[in-house]
Amino acid sequence: MHEHHDIVIVGGGLVGASLAIALENSGLDVMMLEAASPGGLPPVFDERNLSLAEASCHALQALKIWPLLRTASPIRRIHASRVGDFGHVSLDAGEVGREAFGHVVIARDFGEALETRLGDVASLTRCRPARFIGTRLKEDGQREVRVADAEGERLVTTRLLVGADGMESAVRTALGIDAQRHDYGQTLFVSRVRPQRAPDGTAWERLGPHGPTALLPRFDRHYGVVHGVPSDEADAVAALDEGAWLARLQAAFGWRAGRFIASGERSRYPAVRVVAERLTAPRAVLLGNAAQSIHPIGAQGFNLGLRDALTLVEEITVHGLDDVAMLDAYTSRRREDRERTLAFSDGMARASSNKGLAMRGMRSVGMAALANVPGLRAQVAAGGMGYRGDVPALCREHSR
């Protein structure tokens, strides 16, 4: 029998699952394909620590995901500095009338909350394990999607194909959309670290000449650590025993957060940027990492992808699925947020890899200037809280 769904979402990771939940009351019949099997979470819901900007926290509350999170921990201050430079930036949420800039959650916990919430979404057909393997535009204007699952291959038609299938998006490739790639030459190690002095809600960023080191305050008296190293040193860092790893972190970060006394397991990720040259094709759209994968140092990737998903839902509500203006409106609304967030994350990443003295001086001036200009501080804080460009309504507090 011919299978048809109004929307087919490829990828049930952070962004695809959030989109499926946000479409709950749209009246549309939605299918979500996910390569991972039921009974376990997709691999992306691992031990990484996710910093959720205030705008994302508001949206997750409106989507009824927030109460299901068990590990949310507030970020009350942000402290950024660079090895060898004078000046640092310290922003307190109280300066912008907030108790917190956002919250830290563990990706695994977030995945479990999404999984529980997805169970309530009656309009959703979940297909897993199932892989997207191709698509074409049919003569009648609909999209045909080729799906492979345990029973073999089948065809599904849809009015909108959504590629939320991550950095190496097969949907992006099948649509013929090119992507620009940049390798930062860094490997990022993630683990949890227990400090002697309990975290006080400060998120720390230390930009070193060979990579960034960031500490996010967790609910369990640990910091979530991201430590970037040159990729050619990654195997040696992976082989360090706990004591040597802690000594390396302490040397890279310094003593501002006290002594590090224990560490959990380490996982590693390549630091690359992959940016799709277009966001849409006829009856198709890319969201989240499929549209833009950015360096994790600015903690923006999911926050940006969630705003992609919520903006898409708003434009579908205004234009419906069959109006070509819907995808144009989506692209145009995402432009500013996407460009500014990419520039911010890229700037942070490059600031922690450039050893040139001229750049170094300029960055010091930048840090010192930012530290003292109230308007600039407020702008940086607003960006960090997820308010860049035309923000979807669910990200605003009144929509709770």
Residues that bind ligand FAD (CB under 6 A): 10-16, 33-36, 42, 44, 48, 50-51, 131-132, 164-166, 170, 188, 190, 226, 269, 288-290, 296, 299-303, 305
CB of 286 to ligand FAD, least distance (A): 9
CA distances from 51 to 9, 139, 159, 195, 233 (A): 25, 44, 34, 19, 27
Q: Provide the minimum distance between the beta carbon of 164 and ligand FAD in the complex, in angstroms, as a whole number.
A: 5
Q: Considering the complex, state which of residue 15 and residue 89 has its C-beta at the smaller distance from ligand FAD.
A: 15
Nearer of residues 271 and 327 to ligand FAD, judged by Cβ = 271
Angle between helices 301-319 and 54-62 (to 10 degrees): 50
Q: CA-based Rg of the chain, rounded to a whole angstrom?
A: 21
Whether the Cβ atoms of residue 69 and residue 57 lie closer than 8 Å to each other? no
- Smallest distance from ligand FAD to CB 186, Å: 11
How far apart, in whole angstroms, are the C-alpha atoms of residue 370 and residue 46?
Answer: 35
Integer Cα distance of 184 and 201 in angstroms: 29
Q: What tokens were used for 280?
A: 């849409």
Residue 71 or 303 with smaller CB distance to ligand FAD: 303
Helix (H, G, I), strand (E, B) or coil at 240: coil
CB of 141 to ligand FAD, least distance (A): 24
Minimum CB–partner distance for residue 362 and ligand FAD (Å): 27
Residue 220 C-beta: closest distance to ligand FAD, Å: 17
In order of 41, 123, 254, the CA distances from 213 in angstroms are 28, 43, 10
- Chain residue whose CB lies nearest ligand FAD: 13
Q: Which residue lies nearer to ligand FAD by CB, 278 or 360?
A: 278
Cβ atoms of 107 and 44 closer than 8 Å? yes
Q: Are 181 and 274 in contact (CB under 8 A)?
A: yes
36 or 96: CB nearest ligand FAD: 36
Q: How far is CA 7 from CA 124, 319, 392, in A?
A: 10, 15, 20
* 133 vs 356 by CB, closer to ligand FAD: 133
* CA atoms of 187 and 129, how far apart (whole Å): 30
Residue number with CB closer to ligand FAD (40 or 141): 40
Name the minimum Å distance from CB 345 to ligand FAD.
Answer: 10
